[in-house]
C-alpha cells in the first residue's frame, strides 16, 4: 500500500469514527436515561437545585431583587462538564426555551412536584450549542431564536464548592449580569479601571474608617442608627473622591459586581444558607471588613491589590444590604436604562440622599469621624499596606 493510500485510509477511518460517535450520541440522547430518576447524580442534583431556585423566585422575588426580576422565566442551557471552565462537555438541558422533540433534542420527564417548566436535553453535538464547548463557564447563544444563557456545572459545585461557586450562587450571580444588567453601562469603556491608584497611608486609613462604619451598619438593626453610619461613610467616601478623583472606578464595580453579589446574599438568607458578606466556610461564616483590613495589613491574607477591585464586590453588596436595613429606596435609582434614565451607583445614591456635595461641610465633619474611629491607629495599618505594595 502506498504512503498516500495509507494516509487517506487513516483519515477515512478517523472520519468514520467521528461520524459514528456523532450518531451514537444522537441516538443515546433520544433513548437513554430519559426520565429524571434515571439521570446521573450530578444532573439530578442540578435540576433539584434549579427547582428550588425557581420556586423561591416564583414565591418571593420581591425578597431577592424585585417583583419584576423573575429569574425563573429566563431561558437557560445548563451544560455538565467535569471541572471549572471545562472544555469537554456532556449534553445540555434547556429550560424556558420554546423547544420540541427533534433530532438533537429529547424532553426529559421530570416530576411535577419539582415545578420546573419543560426540560429538554440537547445532544452535545447539536450545531446550535457548539459555542458551549468553549472553555468558559457561561455565555449566551441562540436557541430557537431565543437569546439563551448557557451555564456550565460540574460535580464539585454540589459536593465541595468553593465559596461563591456553588451551583445556585454562581448561576444567580452570572445570570444577573446577563439578564438584569444587560443594558447597565457602569462598567462601559473600562470605567471600573483606576489609573495611578493612590498607594499611600492616608487613602488606606480612610478606607479603614469606611470599613469600620460598614461593619457597624451591618451589625445594627435600628434603621436610624444604620442611616447615621451610612451618612458618616458617605462623608469619608466623598472626601476620598475629592482628593483622588480617579478612585470613582470603585463605585462602578460596587454597582455592577456588588449588585450581583447582593442577590447571592439575599438568596442565601431566604433559603437558610450561610453565605454572607466576606464569607468563610467556618463559623461564624464570615469576617468583618476590619478583620479583612487587618489581615491584609499584617500580611496574613490577600494581597493589598484585593482592596482595589475585588473588595468592591463586598462593599457594594454591604451598601445595598444596609440601605435595605435603613429603609432607603435605591433599586429603582440603580437601574441603568440608556436612553431613558442614567443609573446611580450606591455611592451616588447615598450622596444624593444625604445632600453631600459641599467640600467645606465634608471636611468639617471628617475630623470628628476620624477621632471616633481611631484614625491614628488606622494610619499605622495603612503604612503597613503601603510597605507591602512597595515590596510586591
Summarize pLDDT for 11-23 with one digit per residue, the tens: 655 555 555 555 6
The stretch 162-170 carries a mean pLDDT of 97
Question: By C-alpha distance, which of 273, 259, 285, 242 is closest to 184?
Answer: 259
pTM attached to this predicted model: 0.93
Q: Give the list of residues 6+ apart from residue 177 with CB closer than 8 angstroms, or none.
A: 256, 260
CA distance 73 to 188: 27
The stretch 315-331 carries a mean pLDDT of 97
CA distance 206 to 204: 5
Cβ distance 199 to 360 under 8 Å?
no
Q: Give the list of residues 6+ apart from residue 374 with CB closer than 8 angstroms, or none.
A: none
pLDDT score, position 15: 58
Summarize pLDDT for 275-312 with one digit per residue, the tens: 999 999 999 999 999 999 999 999 998 899 999 999 99
Other Cβ atoms closer than 10 A to 124: 22
The stretch 150-172 carries a mean pLDDT of 97
Cell of 52: 428550588
Amino acid at each position: 500500500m502506498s504512503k498516500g493510500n495509507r494516509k487517506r485510509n487513516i483519515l477515512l477511518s478517523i472520519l468514520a469514527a467521528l461520524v459514528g460517535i456523532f450518531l451514537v450520541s444522537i441516538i443515546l440522547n433520544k433513548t437513554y436515561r430519559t426520565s429524571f430518576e434515571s439521570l446521573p447524580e450530578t444532573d439530578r442534583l442540578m435540576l433539584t437545585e434549579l427547582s428550588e431556585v425557581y420556586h423561591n423566585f416564583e414565591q418571593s422575588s420581591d425578597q431577592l431583587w424585585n417583583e419584576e426580576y423573575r429569574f425563573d422565566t429566563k431561558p437557560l442551557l445548563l451544560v455538565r462538564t467535569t471541572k471549572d471552565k471545562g472544555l469537554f462537555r456532556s449534553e445540555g438541558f434547556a429550560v424556558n426555551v420554546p423547544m420540541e422533540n427533534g433530532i438533537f433534542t429529547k424532553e426529559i420527564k421530570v416530576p411535577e412536584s419539582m415545578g420546573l417548566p419543560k426540560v429538554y436535553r440537547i445532544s452535545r453535538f447539536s450545531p446550535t450549542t457548539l459555542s458551549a464547548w468553549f472553555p468558559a463557564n457561561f455565555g449566551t447563544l441562540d436557541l430557537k431564536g431565543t437569546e439563551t444563557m448557557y451555564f456550565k456545572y460540574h460535580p464539585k459545585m454540589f459536593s465541595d464548592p468553593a465559596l461563591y461557586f456553588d451551583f445556585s450562587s454562581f448561576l444567580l450571580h452570572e445570570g444577573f449580569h446577563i439578564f438584569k444588567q444587560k443594558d447597565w453601562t457602569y462598567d462601559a469603556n473600562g470605567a471600573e479601571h483606576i489609573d495611578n491608584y493612590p498607594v499611600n497611608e492616608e487613602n488606606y486609613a480612610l478606607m479603614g474608617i469606611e470599613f469600620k462604619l460598614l461593619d457597624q451598619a451591618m451589625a445594627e438593626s435600628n434603621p436610624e442608627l444604620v442611616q447615621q453610619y451610612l451618612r458618616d461613610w458617605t462623608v469619608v467616601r466623598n472626601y476620598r473622591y475629592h482628593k483622588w478623583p480617579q478612585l470613582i472606578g470603585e463605585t462602578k464595580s460596587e454597582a455592577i459586581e456588588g449588585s450581583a453579589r447582593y442577590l447571592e446574599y439575599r438568596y442565601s438568607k431566604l433559603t437558610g444558607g450561610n453565605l454572607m458578606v466576606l464569607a468563610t466556610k467556618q463559623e461564624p461564616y464570615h469576617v468583618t471588613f476590619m478583620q479583612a483590613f487587618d489581615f491584609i495589613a499584617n500580611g496574613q491574607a490577600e494581597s493589598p491589590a484585593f482592596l482595589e477591585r475585588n473588595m468592591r464586590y463586598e462593599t457594594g453588596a454591604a451598601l445595598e444590604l444596609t440601605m435595605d436595613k435603613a429603609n432607603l429606596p435605591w433599586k429603582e435609582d440603580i437601574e441603568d436604562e440608556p436612553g431613558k434614565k442614567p443609573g446611580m451607583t450606591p455611592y451616588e445614591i447615598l450622596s444624593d440622599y444625604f445632600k453631600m456635595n459641599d467640600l467645606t461641610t465634608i471636611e468639617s465633619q471628617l475630623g470628628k469621624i476620624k477621632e471616633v474611629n481611631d484614625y491614628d491607629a488606622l494610619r499605622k495599618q495603612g503604612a503597613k499596606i503601603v510597605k507591602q505594595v512597595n515590596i510586591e
